[in-house]
Amino acid sequence: MIQLTDCLKRDEQAVLYLRGLYERWGYSKVNVTDFEEYDLYADNRNFFGERNLLTFMNADGRAMALRPDVTLSIIKNVPGEGRQAYKLYYVEDVYRFSKENNEYRRQEQIGAECIGGDPDYANLEILGLALESLGAINERFVLSISHLGFLSGLLDSLNVQQEIRSALIRLIHGKNTHDLQQLLAATDLDAGQKERVAALCGLSGPFEATLRMAGEMARGPVMFQAVEELERLYQAMADSGLGGYLSRVQLDFSVMNDLDYYNSLVFQGYIENLPKAVLTGGRYDNLMKKLDKQRGGVGFAVYLDELGRYFGADRSYDYDQVIFCKGHWDEAALVSALRKLTAQGLRVRVEDAQAFPEVHYTYRDLFTFENGRIERGFVPSDPDRGGDV
């Protein structure tokens, strides 16, 4: 039996591999509708960080929007209470506004969500899946983890106006220490507070060392709890067999998501030579509360468009073999040849010999079919040469 996915592009193979991975870890595939009522998104606009929604009226005159995010649709349909955890994954399109193109774009995502259950266990399981997902794409990856409790604990202790708080968050997110210093200088925070905020801005690097520094600058129960959760998480990763990945896990407090929705663990995955994060995720208990659900949730999404570009240049040719048919189309013999070759797992294309000068695709091997015989290379004349099919 040949490997069924060998002939697919590598990004397509990656999707199948990830689906298999999530199934093996006990996650079930879920399909969600392409659009939801506008209100669902309008009320939670910051969750998916979109400026605009692609909206339309449905047949009843209700305002609808094309789905900019899958997690909201999944959460909406999961019972608000109960002991059983919901472990779901999806492969879906989302429609988002693209700043670069100044218009909406369809993007394909694959993602996993664990709703309910023991939060520490769910965090580790989802992080494990995220690490396995990145590792399956390329072993040269980095997963940057942060804990929003650490950030919000620090910001809450400052008691600054919302406008300054937002500016601080933006600058920490951009690792912009110089403008942050300038902003801090204009506030009446005490020297210790200013020092801690500035220190947080640059706090990133190997997990263990960075966590030690975070522990030293923590003040108050919220920050200490964040440090403790991160310590537990790190230890659990090391003890769970995920230790091989730990050199690729960084702690980086500039990683963040909207604090109104995410509350603790957040993370982003990068693949070398891909300019943007290919995976983002985190624990969104605050969003669950907003949607009147009495339990927490954690999950991530992988951006498949990014992978398509990444693997796009991966194939050196479009087909393994092209058979150019000259003269009479002996369809039975041609299909018979095609079946023999494809049974070996090859990608084969049959083409009219007259098209030979103008084909735009690339191939590894070239054959000519004429009078029931097939011969390597393109044969312009002399039909007597060649071997049997």
Name the site residues for other proteins (rule: CB under 8 A): 99, 140, 142, 144, 174-179, 205, 250, 254, 270-277
Q: How far is the CB of 62 from other proteins (least distance, A)?
A: 31
Let me know how many helices (H) and strands (E) the chain has, helices first. Answer: 14, 17
Q: Judged by CB, which is closer to other proteins: 175, or 373?
A: 175
Q: How far is the CB of 154 from other proteins (least distance, A)?
A: 20
Continuous H helices in 240-384? 285-290, 304-312, 331-342
| Residue 224: CB atoms within 10 Å | 15
Q: At what angle do helices 207-217 and 220-239 cross, to 10 degrees?
A: 160
DSSP state letters, 335-350: HHHHHHHHTTT--EEE
CA–CA dist 330, 10 (Å, integer): 34
Q: How far is the CB of 143 from other proteins (least distance, A)?
A: 9
Q: How far is the CB of 196 from other proteins (least distance, A)?
A: 20
Residue partners of 387: CB distance under 8 A and separation at least 6: 373, 374, 375
Q: How far is the CB of 168 from other proteins (least distance, A)?
A: 14
Give the residue from 307, 305, 303, 264 showing the smallest Cα distance to 286: 264
The dihedrals phi and psi of 366, each to the nearest 5 degrees, come to -125, 135
Q: Judged by CB, which is closer to other proteins: 114, or 203?
A: 203
Q: Judged by CB, which is closer to other proteins: 140, or 376?
A: 140
Q: Judged by CB, which is closer to other proteins: 304, or 374?
A: 304
Beta carbons of 161 and 187 less than 8 angstroms apart: no
Q: Judged by CB, which is closer to other proteins: 177, or 342?
A: 177
* Encoded amino acid at 58, one letter: N
Q: Judged by CB, which is closer to other proteins: 134, or 154?
A: 134
Q: How far is the CB of 298 from other proteins (least distance, A)?
A: 22
